[in-house]
Amino acid sequence: MRVPLSWLAEYVELVPGTTPEEVHAALVEVGLEEEDVHTFEVQGPIVVGEVLEFVEEPQSNGKTIRWCQVRVAPDGPSTGSGTDVEGPAVRGIVCGARNFFPGDKVVVTLPGAVLPGPFPIAARKTYGHVSDGMIASARELGLGDDHEGILRLATLGIDAPVGTDAIALLGLDDAAVEINVTPDRGYAFSIRGVAREYAHATGGRFRDPVEQSSPAAVPEPVEGATADAFPVEVRDEAPIRGRVGSSVFATRIVRGVDPKRPTPAWMVARLKLAGIRSISVLVDITNYVMLELGQPIHGYDLDRLRGGIVVRRATPGETMETLDGKVRTLHPEDLLITDDRGPIGLAGVMGGAETEMSDATTNVLIEAANFDPVSIARTARRHKLPSEASKRYERGVDPQIAAAAATRVAQLMVDLAGGTADVGGSLIHEAAGRESIELPSGYVSELIGVEYTDDEVHDALAEIGGIITATETGFEVVPPSWRPDLTGRADLAEEVARIAGYHRIPSVLPVAPPGRGLTRSQRVRRRVADTLAAAGATEVLSFPFSTEAENGTYGSADGEPVASVRLANALDASTALLRRSLLPGLIGAARRNRSRGLNDLSLFEVGLVFLPETGRTYGTPGLPIGDARPSDDELAELQAGIPPQPRHVGVLLVGDVVTKQSGQPAVPAGIVDALDAVRQIGLATGAEFEFVQGSHQAMHPGRTAELRLMGRPVGYAGELLPALAEEADLPRVVAVVELDLDAVIELTDPAVEARAIGTYPAATQDLSLLVDRAVPAASVAAAVREGAGELLEDLHLVDDYRGQGIPEGSKSLTFALRFRAADRTLTAAEASEAKLAGAGVAAERFGAKIRD
């Protein structure tokens, strides 16, 4: 939300000379976040000038320029309304625009001025003349996007003396502070709301624009409707969550407006600083009041309406054309504004094209309504149509200000567009009153940790607009209508802390109770992440959303159909499922990074996947009511209602793991690196994985290892299927790993301790075994390790030979063995005995023979 300071000063005391930084600091004290400061970025001298005469001069490039004589200072003594202009009163200026005439008042930027950009102005020779300044357009001044011609002050309804300071005249000396408005504080999407917060912070007097009396010419409508009021009906037969779509609907009629009148300069400047483009006087007025009061306004061309207005839900297959020119197919939940011909607006989101105000509009119907936040939020997201109106409605609009806002718009249309307001109007007001909240004495102090007296609590809640009644046990508080976020006593306690000042809350680090800390699973997960990061990988966090194709490809090893969890309100309809695998997210991260020139990547992620059982319906009985911890039975029931959500770890390597350098060729990533990543995870978890030949439909056949632990499959490692890699704009070889980390933690012994470093010498021997080619080397190694017993300290494969001298269908596996005893120096005979024992187990299981 951008807040022009001149506008803010109308409703709260603002000391003259207050800087935007000081306003930001005050708003931060009451919990609003500062974002930025916006100005027009102009410097003088910029003055009002009068075009005396000009000569049109065709140029060789086909362009015709005007050599103008412009008066920039009065002939007589200064009136005190202008700026001191040095140099001649009449300047020669070259101008390429052709939309002005002798006698027009224009904005002249003189040498030394600076326009947004920055664009410094100086006298310079051009087209055979020395142009002593520039006649400015609205876009060059930062007032709008119009650059087709220079800004004629008459189009803004301004007739100021020559030499007047144009910066002050056009409001270009104003500044706006930008704040971040969190979803629970929608009231701050208005000058009214921010002015109230600034008053809380500084103690300045707040003047509520809603409470200011309406001009006698435009009385506010009363509940119901006058005899000549426009007919309105709310007919919501399918409310969402039992909440009717519109609880308040106010209308006013203004006749005889002139839509071609210029929007005043002060309004154009304020709208521009607030981030709104000036369109026309009628549209600008509706936007102005929306920013001022926080109440979205819609104006209809009254003569283009047919019959009365009905607020209803859409019917299946119904369509409408919105103001952006798009024809939209409507959903039965969409709330519509309709007349006798059908839909004329998406309620609270965007109006329809058929009844919009235009340059031909003379009679206007003003609408100020209050719509259900959930309904508006769903419609805006469903149609991908965020708007300034929906942004306010979905956060909650004050239901008590609709009539005042409609009246304010009517008054401005009378004043600025020359219209005449009908007497009265219609007002449907069925908004429920706020329920009181019981606030026990001492509750605020106990929750916040600061001693507050009852008077301090009372005064703070009264200051935010609450209605407070003292009771025997504390207070009954009715929150103000503009604060729908205040629903419980904890919310009220937070308001007391905010208004009394966050500086009173001490900064104390809580002491952890003894016997607590991270669980074993948490420690192991952190150790895995630390180990992979220490090995050179970068952790990424991807969205847990996936497509149907991704879940079918990566979430199923054998290609069988799988079930997925579908989101009820997805951010993107194309990724409306929760992921079954971490690999799509890692692949997407690799693709984005490579598109930005980062070709050698080692990425990992630790996150949840969602694996519902096929054919089973999930659902929870509802969250327990209250602030007490649910019982174990309640937690078990809740857990049973959601699909399994194991935590996986995924790794992806692409590009070179060793870059090319002097004397060293590049080493590309491959299956070896994937298996090494698994070994790193094994070191972090204490797991000894078994690698067996595996298959996965998303991975390269023949270059995929199934990872087992205690005989149970826990994941896969290998290379991505080349076709999938090519589809993702990645190289053909992409090494990937995905492990069920929860299963690994469950299957590892938490009592396993690190092996002590032996102090006695080691005995090393090699063992070469002939086995059938189909026997995995890992299985042979496991058999040797089991047979060799405790004396075997280390075993690893050093050779897999299948050449000359080896029987057909066989292979020779050579293992390097290291033996060590903890209490003595081993003899060669003891080491040989252990080696032969290991070979014996391999022979028994796989028919292995010791190779000579």
Determine which of 525-529, 628-632, 700-704 has the lowest per-residue pLDDT on average.
628-632
The predicted-structure confidence for 417-471, as pLDDT tens digits, reads as follows 999 998 878 888 888 888 999 999 999 999 998 999 999 999 999 999 999 999 9
- Closest C-alpha to 52, from 115, 104, 119: 104
Mean of the per-residue pLDDT values of the chain: 90
Identify which has the larger pLDDT, 510 or 632: 632
pLDDT class for 310, splitting at 50, 70, 90?
very high
Distances (CA, A) of 426 to 245, 406, 409, 661: 18, 10, 15, 80
- Closest C-alpha to 155, from 264, 285, 270: 264
Share of the chain above pLDDT 90, in %: 68
Determine which of 108-122, 608-622, 654-668 has the lowest per-residue pLDDT on average.
608-622
Mean pLDDT value of segment 315-322: 90
The rounded distance, in Å, linking the Cα atoms of 190 and 394 is 14
Determine which of 231-235, 495-499, 705-709 has the lowest per-residue pLDDT on average.
231-235
pLDDT class for 216, splitting at 50, 70, 90?
very low
Residues with Cβ within 8 Å of residue 660, at least 6 apart in sequence: 666
The rounded distance, in Å, linking the Cα atoms of 750 and 731 is 40
Instruction: Check whether 498 has a pLDDT greater than 60.
Output: yes
pLDDT class for 768, splitting at 50, 70, 90?
very high
What pLDDT sits at residue 212?
A: 66
- Closest C-alpha to 431, from 244, 264, 271: 244
The rounded distance, in Å, linking the Cα atoms of 426 and 410 is 13
The rounded distance, in Å, linking the Cα atoms of 755 and 184 is 55
Share of the chain above pLDDT 70, in %: 94
Cβ-defined contacts of 820-826 (< 8 Å, 24+): 820/758, 820/760, 820/761, 820/762, 820/763, 820/791, 820/793, 821/758, 821/760, 821/791, 822/756, 822/758, 822/760, 823/760, 824/760, 825/760, 825/761, 826/760, 826/761, 826/762, 826/763, 826/791
The rounded distance, in Å, linking the Cα atoms of 795 and 781 is 8
Instruction: Check whether 78 has a pLDDT greater than 50.
Output: no
Instruction: Check whether 196 has a pLDDT greater than 80.
Output: yes
Mean pLDDT value of segment 180-184: 90
The winner for highest mean pLDDT among 81-95, 561-575, 641-655 is: 641-655
pLDDT class for 230, splitting at 50, 70, 90?
confident
